Amino acid sequence: MPEKKVPNPNGKKGGEKHQQKVKEIFADVEKRGFIGGFEKFIRLITGQGRYIDVVGLDQDTEIPVEFHQIGIQTKKGLPVKRERDVIEEIEKYKDIRIEFHAYNAEEGTENDGQTN
């Protein structure tokens, strides 16, 4: 029987590139003097929960002041649709700005799921 190809052996843990980018952003957050945090849980007004990949907390107040989401970008350099939806949802309900970092920036691309 032929071996079944597994698209992402890490499953929910995210691919290797995603993880490396998470580490890179986290290191940058700490370098700038914030307390770094991974996978911070937030709840939207709809009741749904979301995890933000990396946050930067103010050292004095421990309030998250930076929010970073890591994912795939499209040919146009935008987050793919599923990422855009999450970012827009959080920004809309929480009045915060989320910085998006693509881990496929050098390679370029993924179809964004829109029909032009």
CB of 116 to other proteins, least distance (A): 34
Whether the Cβ atoms of residue 84 and residue 98 lie closer than 8 Å to each other: no
| C-beta closer to other proteins: residue 61 or 116 | 61
CB of 28 to other proteins, least distance (A): 10
| C-beta closer to other proteins: residue 10 or 114 | 10
Contact positions vs other proteins (CB under 8 A): 10, 12-14, 16, 19-20, 22-23, 27, 30-33, 35-43, 47, 49, 57-59, 61-65, 94-96
CB of 88 to other proteins, least distance (A): 16
Which amino acid type is present at position 100?
F
- Tell the residue number behind the tokens 């990949």, with chain if given: 53
Q: In what order do the strands lie in the sheet with 64-71?
A: 35-43, 49-57, 64-71, 99-102
3-state helix, strand, coil in the chain (%, to 5): 30, 30, 45
